[in-house]
Structure formats: C-alpha cells, structure tokens
C-alpha cells in the first residue's frame, strides 16, 4: 500500500507545548510532546477530556501556535509554513465544517475550489462524495435541517474533498448513535485502505481506538503515557479471571491456589476471587480442574480479555471514566475552582 | 450506507498538495459562498429592513410638505442609509454563528487566506444593500418621491463603500466577541442608534447645540447621507458628493484594516 514517495515522518513534534492562561492561572494543556508519525499510519489519540488531545490537534492543524517546541506536518513547520500545511491536510473538527445556513453540496464545491480544484472538478468531486457518504437525499437541503449523523457524514466529506495527504479528525464519532459510529469507522477504514493517507483521530471511546487504529497514543495531562499497537498495549496486561465460589473459606483456598500461577495478581473479595494473568483463557481450564481436585465447585467463572480501559487504569491508576469526570470543572488538578470549562476542548 | 467509500478500487496515490489560489480567487470564493444563502432565500434581506420600513411607514405621514419638494424626498435617502447601516452591522452575527457551529474553524484550516476570508465577506454586503435599496425605492416611487436614476446609481456606489466598511467592522466585532453572541448584539445595538441620530437621518440637525453639531460633523454617515440626499434628488453638488465618497471611503478603509487585524488573530 506504500505508493507514496515521502521519506521520514509525516508528522514530527519536538517538545511541543501549549499553555492557556485564563485569569492569572495557567493550564499546561500539552507538555513537551515528542511524536513521530509515518506516512500512511492510522493513529488514535486516546485520553479523557482535557488530556490535551484536541490542543495537540489544533496545533498540528495550524489553528493555534505552540507556546514552545516545534511541529512539522507534511514537511512544513506549523508556524512558519502554515499555508503549506493547510494545503496538505484535511481537518474534521468537533463542530460542523459546513455552514448551517448553507447547502451541503454548495459547501463541498466551495471547499474544493478553496483547494484549487476547477469548477468542473469541484462539482464532480462533490457528486462523488455525496454518493459515497450516502448524502444524496440531503445534499441540496439547508445544513441546519440535517440530522446529527447526516451532518457528521457531511463533515467527513468536507475533510476528504481534496484527498488530503494527512487527515485529522477531532472526535469524529461524538454524538453519533452506535449504528452511525460503526458506519463512520467503516468509512475511515476504507478511506485509509483506498488512499494510503495518514489519519490521526482523537477519541475517548476505547472501543473506537481499539477497532480502528493501528497505533494508539494514550495522552493524559498533556503528555504521552503510552504509544503502541492496541494489541501490545493490552497483551502486557493479561486477562482478568473472575471466579465465584460458594463461600469465603473456599475462596481463600482458591486464592492461594491461584497465587501459585506464575505472574498472577490475585485478589479476593468475600467469595469472589479475581486473577489478573497473561494468557488467562488458557490457564482457566487447568485452574478449574485443580479446584475440582481439591473438592471445590466454583459457582461461576468469567474470562475477560483486557480492554483499553484496563490499559488506561493500569497506566494512570484511574479509570477513563473517572478521569473524564475529573476533567469536568477543574483542570489538571488545579486547586482553584475555575468552572469556566477552559479545557482545551472548549477553546 | 454505500459499499464503496471512495470510488477508485485500486490503491489511490495520495494527491499532491492543493495549489495556491490567488487573493482574488480566494476572495471570490468566499464572497460567492456568502451570497448563496442570500440568493437562495432572497426574503432574508427583509430582516434588516423591518425597522427602517416601520420608521418609513410611521414617520412619512407626519412629514410636512416643504416648499422645495416633498418631505419624502428628504426622508427616503435617510431610510436607505439606515437600512444599509442595519444590514451591514447585523452581518457579523452570521460569523458568530459560524464560529459556534464550526464552519469558521474549517475555513481557517483551509488554504483560503485570512485576508480573503474578511474581504470576501465584506464585499458581499453590497448585494443585499442593493436589493434593499431597490425594494425601498419601489415602495416609495408611487408616492411623492421622484426617482432620479442617475443620481441613485452614483448614490449606491457611495453606499456600497459604506456597507463594505460597516460589514468589515461588524465582522471584527464578531471576532472580538468570540463565541458570545450577546456581546455582539449589545455592542451593535448600543452603537447603531447614536450613529443614526447623529447623521440626521430621522430629524434634521439644523439649529442643534454646538456639541451635537461637532459630534455630527465627526460622524462619517452624516456626509454619506447628505450626498445620497442630493443624488437621490437629482442634484450633483460636487463638494457634497466628494464629502460623501470621502466619508464612506474612510469607513471602508478603517473597517477593512480593523477587520483584517481581527481575522489574522482569529484561531
């Protein structure tokens, strides 16, 4: 699939930092980010609200300048080469790219013209995208009358008009119902497969990062805390066995038994034992046989493969949901009770 | 959902970067984009005309017949200028809306230059202004208003410059008040009536106290209205017309400068 001739990373950041100052109190939204993303990669920035994902994206798309550090996108500096960067990228922000008083088709044509397509090409490209993104029925209606899912598809179409070398999507599936989310993921995958574009998206949906991205960059408090494939992020964690026994006594014995397994982390809560261990799905049958041999009949057993939520919990000591809730109101553990909601997402 | 997302089945080479458009191509793009909703829903230009038309309807019957022509002849150019000020000063609200919904952000990330984003929007103001002026003249011509087409044509050139300037200032205000629509409306409403009244649109300022006279003399709209009054009456006093052009040119230059600065700082 490597049809491109670019060498070196298509996105590179060095010490990329962004502070926001509101009412004498400074929020360090992004702190010294060092990243390299190669041509054709499909990368997800995963993290809770306020983690710095969107601020990073806004710097990479030239919307805000870094406080310090540098970033290059498609070979151009995001500050000194703003216009060159804008010509190389597509951007689907959190809002709607198409104006609400406009018609979708008009906006697609206008966007194509902005990217230097001839009038005829811009119309042809708009037709193509309207067809591909299933917008034929609504393309000639006022954007404000479209449903959330239709508008989001139009946003994606807007970002794809010029088949950008690098496509940024800021929380593309927020506000979509599960069916539209699945559709959107399929769209992104097909786009990636058919164009070889580099795609960077932010999400706080674990399943989305998991399903979509080849590489997951976990961001928390403005820094990268993990950067790997979803698979290897999870494989380091092991599976979670949850075994229910008839009483506390049995559970204590079972916990002792489980603790003999190499590398297992065992906890007991009354009559329930949890075992965190790599390859748990292969270990579970043997453990059951052993418990049976000692005269114990477990009530239940559950084997859960690790999720990215477990990864996040393991990395930060808090679940993604907790981190999400923390981000509402105060930011970055600041002691001031600033409810201005001035996380980077609000910018 | 269709099965093929992007039409080409084989792997498509990523495209080269978009070429650079010139300033005027970008400006044309922005202007025509802004005009589409106006042309698709022409009735939308009536929004800015509600107040001026109410004033026209309620004031016109009260106007005395003057010896040197009908009072309507004096009053209508003021109403046209008022409509023009109203329409152009409302226009920033469209941008506020675009900032709230996200399309302004999309435009900022596109290769369109910042200056085109401002100038294209400001230039577009001429079109609704022309439509509004035509409507008012159509309404009043059956009454005691004499239509002097030549004068009207010169007059709308002055008003066009004025609209561009006021429109640019309105965009600058929208950019400065960022995402809070109420700030925009508060400032706009606070400024608009003093500007209108000081230009002598509703009442002549003859015999006004000195301070009011000075304030009126400093108001560029005063010169615009005076020039438009003469022109709509079919008179061509060169100094008044020149002052009208100067007044509107000052507003246009100031508006575009301030607007450009605001747009360049936009993020």
Are A129 and A68 members of one domain? Answer: yes
Which of chain A's residues have a Cβ under 8 Å away from the Cβ of B106?
A: 91, 93, 95, 97-98, 111, 158
Alpha-carbon span A112 to B19, nearest angstrom: 11
Could you tell me if A275 and A222 lie in one domain? no
Q: How confident is the model at residue B179 (pLDDT cuts 50, 70, 90)?
A: low
Same domain assignment for residues A150 and A271: no
A177 and A271 in a single domain? The answer is no
CA distances from A87 to A71, A107, A113, B108, B266 (A): 16, 17, 12, 12, 18
Domain annotation covers residue A116:
yes
- Among A233, A252, A267, the domain-final residue is A233
Nearest to A77 by CA among A92, A62, A56, A58: A62
Considering the domain boundaries, does residue A273 fall inside one? yes
pLDDT number for residue B11: 39
User: Using one digit for the tens of pLDDT, what is the confidence trace for A74-102?
Assistant: 999 999 999 999 999 999 999 999 999 99
* Residue that the structure tokens 């993921």 belong to: A185
**What's the whole-number average pLDDT of chain B?**
87
Q: What is the ipTM of this complex?
A: 0.86
Instruction: Kindly indicate the confidence band of residue B37, based on its pLDDT and cuts at 50, 70 and 90.
Output: very high
In a domain, A346, yes or no: no
Question: Between chains, do A196 and B29 touch, taking CB under 8 Å as contact?
Answer: no
Which helix or strand (DSSP H or E) is residue A87 part of? helix A82-88
- Give chain A's domain count: 2
Inter-chain touch B15–A89, beta carbons under 8 Å: no
pLDDT value of residue B85: 93
Domain identity same for A29 and A172: yes
271-310 in chain A: CB under 8 A from chain B: none
A165 is a domain residue? yes
Same domain, A281 and A166: no
A287 lies in some domain: yes
Task: Tell me whether residue B234 is exposed, middle or buried, using C-beta atoms within 10 angstroms of its C-beta: 0 to 12, 13 to 18, 19 or more.
Answer: middle
Q: What is the pLDDT of residues A191-208, one digit of tens each?
A: 888 888 899 999 887 778
Asked whether residue A318 is domain-assigned, the answer is: no
User: For chain A, how many helices (H) and strands (E)?
Assistant: 12, 14
Dihedral of alpha carbons A107, A112, A116, A117, sign: negative
Give the domain range for residue A158. Answer: 9-233
Residue B217's H or E segment, with its range, is helix B210-218
**Structure tokens belonging to residue B39:** 């042309």
Q: Are residues A136 and A76 in the same domain?
A: yes
Distances, alpha carbon A333 to alpha carbons A162, A251, A325, A337, B48, in Å: 41, 39, 12, 10, 48
Whether A338 maps to a domain, the answer reads no
**Of A233, A260, A293, which closes a domain?**
A233
Whether residue A269 sits in one domain with residue A127: no
Contact A193 B11 (CB under 8 A): yes
Residue A239 pLDDT grade (very low, low, confident, very high; cuts 50, 70, 90):
confident
CATH of residue A283 = 3.30.70.270
d(CA A205, CA A45): 10
Cβ contact, residue pair B109, A134, below 8 Å: no
How wide is the angle at C-alpha A288 spanned by C-alphas A283 and A290, nearest 5°? Answer: 95
Give the residue from A177, A199, A233 where a domain finishes.
A233
pLDDT at residue number B7: 42
Interface check for A38 against chain B (CB to CB < 8 A): the answer is no
Whether B158 has a pLDDT exceeding 70, the answer reads yes
Residues A242 and A136 in one domain: no
- What element of type H or E holds B195? helix B181-198
State residue A331's pLDDT score.
Answer: 43
* Cross-chain Cβ contact B17/A197 below 8 Å: no
Give yes or no: residues A201 and A59 share one domain: yes
Question: Do A196 and A243 belong together in one domain?
Answer: no
B6-36 in b/e burial notation, b at 16+ Cβ within 10 A? Answer: beeeeebebeebbeebeeeebbbbbbbbbbb
In this structure, are A250 and A106 located in the same domain?
no
Q: Contacts of residue A107 in chain B, CB cutoff 8 Å?
A: 33, 103
Is it the case that residue A338 has pLDDT exceeding 70? no
User: Does the residue A4 lie in any domain?
Assistant: no
* Count of Cβ atoms closer than 10 Å to residue B170 Cβ: 28
Each residue's pLDDT tens digit, B208-231: 888 988 999 999 999 999 999 999
CATH of the domain at A34: 3.40.50.300
């Amino acid at each position: 699939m490597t049809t491109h001739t670019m060498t070196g990373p298509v996105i590179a950041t060095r010490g990329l930092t962004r502070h926001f100052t509101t009412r004498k109190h400074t929020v360090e939204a992004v702190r010294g980010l060092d990243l390299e993303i190669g041509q054709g990669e499909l990368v997800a920035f995963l993290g809770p609200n306020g983690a710095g994902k969107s601020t990073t994206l806004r710097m990479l798309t030239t919307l805000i300048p870094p406080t310090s550090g540098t970033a290059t996108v498609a070979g151009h500096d995001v500050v000194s080469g703003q216009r060159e960067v804008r010509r190389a990228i597509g951007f689907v922000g959190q809002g709607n790219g198409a104006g609400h008083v406009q018609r979708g088709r008009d906006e697609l044509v206008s966007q194509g013209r902005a990217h230097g397509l001839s009038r005829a090409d811009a119309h042809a490209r708009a037709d193509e995208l309207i067809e591909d993104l299933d917008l034929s029925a609504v393309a000639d209606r006022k954007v404000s009358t479209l449903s959330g899912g239709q508008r989001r598809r139009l946003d994606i179409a807007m970002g794809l008009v010029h088949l950008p070398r690098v496509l940024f999507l800021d929380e593309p599936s927020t506000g979509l119902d599960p069916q539209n989310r699945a559709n959107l993921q399929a769209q992104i995958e097909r786009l990636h497969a058919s164009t070889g574009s580099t795609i960077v998206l932010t999400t706080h949906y674990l399943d989305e990062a998991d399903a979509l991205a080849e590489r997951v960059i976990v961001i928390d408090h403005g820094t990268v805390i993990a950067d790997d494939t979803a698979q290897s992020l999870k494989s380091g964690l092991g599976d979670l066995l949850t075994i229910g026994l008839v009483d506390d006594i049995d559970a204590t014995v079972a916990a002792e038994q489980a603790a003999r397994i190499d590398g297992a982390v065992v906890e007991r809560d009354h009559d329930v034992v949890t075992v965190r261990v790599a390859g748990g799905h292969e270990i579970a049958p043997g453990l059951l046989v052993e418990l049976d041999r000692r005269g114990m009949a477990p009530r239940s057993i559950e084997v859960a493969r690790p999720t990215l939520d477990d990864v996040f919990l393991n990395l930060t000591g808090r679940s993604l949901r907790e981190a999400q809730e923390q981000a509402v109101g105060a930011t970055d553990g600041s002691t001031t009770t600033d409810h201005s909601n001035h996380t980077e997402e609000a910018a | 959902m269709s099965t093929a997302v992007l039409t080409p089945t084989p792997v498509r080479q990523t495209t080269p970067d978009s070429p650079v458009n010139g300033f005027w191509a970008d400006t044309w793009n922005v202007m025509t984009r802004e005009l589409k909703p106006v042309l698709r829903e022409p009735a939308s230009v009536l929004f800015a005309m509600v107040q001026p038309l109410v004033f026209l309807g309620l004031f016109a019957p009260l106007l005395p017949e003057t010896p040197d022509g009908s009072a309507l002849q004096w009053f209508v150019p003021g109403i046209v200028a008022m409509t023009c000020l109203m329409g152009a000063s409302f226009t920033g609200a469209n941008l506020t809306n675009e900032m709230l919904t996200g399309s302004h952000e999309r435009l900022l990330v596109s290769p369109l230059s910042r200056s085109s984003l401002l100038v294209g929007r400001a230039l577009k103001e001429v079109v609704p202004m022309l439509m509004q002026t035509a409507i008012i003249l159509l309404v009043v011509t059956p009454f005691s208003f004499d239509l002097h087409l030549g004068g009207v044509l010169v007059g709308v050139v002055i008003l066009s410059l004025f609209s561009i300037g006021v429109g640019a200032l309105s965009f600058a205000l929208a950019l400065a008040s960022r995402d809070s629509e109420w700030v925009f409306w508060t400032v706009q409403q606070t400024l608009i009536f003093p500007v209108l009244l000081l230009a002598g649109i509703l009442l002549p300022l003859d015999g006004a106290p000195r301070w009011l006279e000075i304030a009126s003399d400093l108001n560029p709209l005063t010169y615009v209205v005076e020039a438009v009054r003469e022109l709509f009456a079919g008179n061509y006093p060169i100094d008044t017309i020149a002052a009208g052009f100067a007044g509107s040119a000052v507003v246009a230059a100031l508006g575009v400068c301030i607007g450009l600065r605001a747009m360049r700082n936009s993020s």
